[in-house]
Structure 1
Amino acid sequence: ASACPVEVPSEYDFGIGKRKAIYVPYPQAVPLAACIDPQACIGCARCAEACPADAVRLEQEPQDIKLNVGAIIVATGWQPFDATRKEEYGFGRYRDVITTLQMERMLNASGPTKGEVVAPSSGKIAGSIAFLQCVGSRDQTVGNPYCSRICCMASLKNAQLVKEKYPDTDVTIYYIDIRACGEGYEEFYIRAQKLGINFVRSRVSGIQEGEDGRLSLLFEDTLTGEIKRAKHDLAVLSVGLEPDSNAEVLGNLLGLSRRPDRFFEIAHPKMRPVEAHIDGVFIAGCASGPKEIPISIAQGSAAAAKAVKLLHRGVLELEPTSAYVDPEKCIECKLCVDICPKKAISAKSPAYVDEAACKGCGSCAAACPVDAIDMRFFSDQQIMAQVQAATEVKREFPLIVAFLCNWCSYGAADLAGTSRIQYPTNARNIRVMCSARVDPSFVLEALRRGADGVLIAGCRIGECHYRDGNYQALQRVNVLKGVLEKVGLDPGRVKIVWCAASEGEIYAQDLREFIAELKEMGPVGTELKKRKDGEHPEPSARSEEESRKP
């Protein structure tokens, strides 16, 4: 690197330091080897001439490497919010406006300023420093309403380091809320106050550079309601955490879903905090959202342990309830590819189901417009046979055919029975793996054969075992209600409810309410008879309300 004549801004120093075109990315790099920046290299070959080991290969080309793996750990980390998006703070225009990460490198003895906290415009020690919190976090205007979790403590740490090194320096932290909620964090906050660091509850509205070269901050003190100005030599923007720029590409490659904040979604925030919805894929650290270093370390250890456990078994246990495609029926519409929550279906000719990845929710089978997909268990034929058996004899009114999700509502119905919870016997329960498995043809067949109503019960919204099966079921039911209304049947004859496996009483209450609603409507076909006789019955108020649900 010493032989290289080219210097460019260092990414490791976040632009406030320089590096050569050939460089070691950072002191702890693994492997500890130099690399060449092709954008900066001028091809002079001085590095190759200076290398005693003849290790520099200027003609080396990029390589694609294929690996067969049994598990994947996604630990893509984060990237800092681009402070230039907050134009009112002047980052990129005013040299003395820097970010927290640049301050970190300043404070480091091996950093570009050798540990001295200076104003970049003058190179002199900063006598007054302002820390601005929540830059790019808790901010709807930039699309980041979430808290980045580490910013408060990072500023408290840097402010204390400055105060300990320069006791006479004026240090002020402009904050919305100080969120010191980790172990020992509150004590750390109190220590900062005792060191004489000033805390002003506000959000700075703008920064301007005065004629004297100092920075002027305009802000409202939200504790007093006063609009104030303050001058500082250096302003430090506490930038938030955003997903890595390559996260979207990787997510599409692995079939991972992302949350509204663009971080990767985990299978369950409590029970499966490091697992993706795709088996064999684990997520650790800030790939799944902003978090502190101790939590990232714990998640990394957990993900590694789960990966080792998976690999140590040597075999995979597959669900026998997987889907399969009838190649003679498939029209290659790719609807199944888009709808599969596990990304187990490939858009080949015809569509292909990876049975190792399929978990048997049945959503694809219910969505296929030509019935080209079926399940090895809980098949269309099996479910239709149960519908026919349930409606063969009608001994009570109203007769209800109930499709219950295997993971939640079926357990709730079972719990209601074992707990001696009293509820009517009008329902004929049919177990399905997921509420999304309920094909509209099952519902129509039940009504055609004389069922007075059809109940679909799934997991609570947001708690689906297959991630979003209940959303898909809700969408199909809303469409189906419109079809029923057009043919003259009350759309209220189809009802969808949600309950957890532990909520037997809620299931029983939902069933009682549905029975009461069906008794008001009368036996199935009553609407058609009234229409034939010249009457125009209005749909039930409850069904109208449900049809407006998203």
Structure 2
Amino acid sequence: MRVGVFICHCGNNIAGTVDVRRVAEEIGKLPDVAYATDYMYTCSEPGQKEIIEAIKKHGLDRVVVAACSPRMHEPTFRKTVERAGLNRYFFEMANIREHVSWISDDREANTEKAIDLIKMAIAKVIRNRPLFPSTFEVKRRVLVIGGGVAGMQAALDCADGGIEVVLVEKSPSIGGMMARLDKTFPTIDCSICILGPKMVDCAQHERIKLYAFSEVEEVKGYVGNFRVKIRKKATYVDWAKCTGCGLCMEKCPSRNAYDYFNFGIAPTTAINVPFPQAIPKKARIDPTYCRQFTRGRCGVCAKICPTGAIDYEMTDTFVEEEVGAIIVATGYDLLDIKMLPEYGGGRYPDVITGIQYERLLNASGPTQGHILRPSDKKEPKTIVFVACAGSRDRSVGIPYCSNFCCMYIAKQAILTRDHIPGSEVYVFYMDIRAPSKGYDEFTRRAQEEYGVKYIRGRVSKIYHKGEKLLVRGADTLIGSQIEIEADLVVLATAAIAQKDAANLAEKLHISYDSFGFYM
């Protein structure tokens, strides 16, 4: 066996803490190594040329490159050895940058470790066998998991390109988080005006098959040929018969059901259509609150339904679809407000989340667009927004920035001043992160044109003081404590991974990070 080994300096990334020349000398003494050398940038065009020339000159039949991560340049070097006439799988890569030079400054120890890693790569490449590409039929169908704006756009792009799409959404309607928004930033455009046509296009497109209120149960197969088992959750309403007339909602006696679409800012009926623009616009019964399920008697909706769509005996059903590719667009979730007890989360009804406040602003929300305190339905005069409520906070296990809170707080502050011109609006923040076009100007507009008072500092505690909420925090710019009596407090809660993200990742065999986000 004639193995060639090429050790990369990567500038000073590797050579700064590894004796590259000594590594090349030691490796060159191994019995199966016919050629060993070091080079400044092996991935460069001259570096690749040297590998090709060495293979031909020294009759190498295996190649090892000791450099950076295989995730970065393994495909590059596989193509290089192939151009020299070797099978691309007669190549292995030893990662002596991320696994050695970048994690220690001990030059001697790094050098020894680099030698060991290269020896392992040599042992492996000697045992490699040639592999050859094969062809097989690929299903020209795509599964899109998630019916938010990203999933819908992906589905429409594929369908418009002539590919059949299976779109699976776990909620009763497509639309995702964007369907809940009132306006978008920084243009203050109507959110549903942008999203609504896409929702209709998805429902009516001849190449898109929509499964709403459904989840992926099982995935088998391989790239190009997947067999997907989909669970269609019981709605207790025959959607083939339901017209979405809303008569059942009007007559339903159970009116304290949790409203998932409005994030619980107000109750809803046990049978409901999520929102006026829902697609499909079909009713669903929540058995947790429906008296027919909790008490064993009621049946009002079944009696008044003009099409006889109510079916209390409905159960989950399963369907199977064959697809060639899968797009995962499951979106994000928001931190539970109860994780922030210092802010009164879950204890004070007038401490709400940003998405709940968005529903109050929205004309299709529970208050028809009027900003009212949940506790007494009075219009608030002083509103405090708290940025980074959970984000960049290691105490709740979320050290990262959620990336969009600064912007939607500025938007909501502007809309608040529009809705209630005489209101006082405060924003507690640590840093304003506005990295995109027009974003910085938008946050300045909130302050300069709309008179929103930005206070740089964290809120330490929020508690009741009569009918008010006392917000205690710090103003780090003037170096003093500050207290504000507020009528309503809005928390910009952290964006977190979907609760079932890890479960779905295991079904799909995809990676996710320590916070649950897909990689």
Q: TM-score, normalised by structure 2?
A: 0.50
More strand by share: 2
Q: TM-score, normalised by structure 1?
A: 0.47
The structure with the largest alpha-carbon Rg is 1
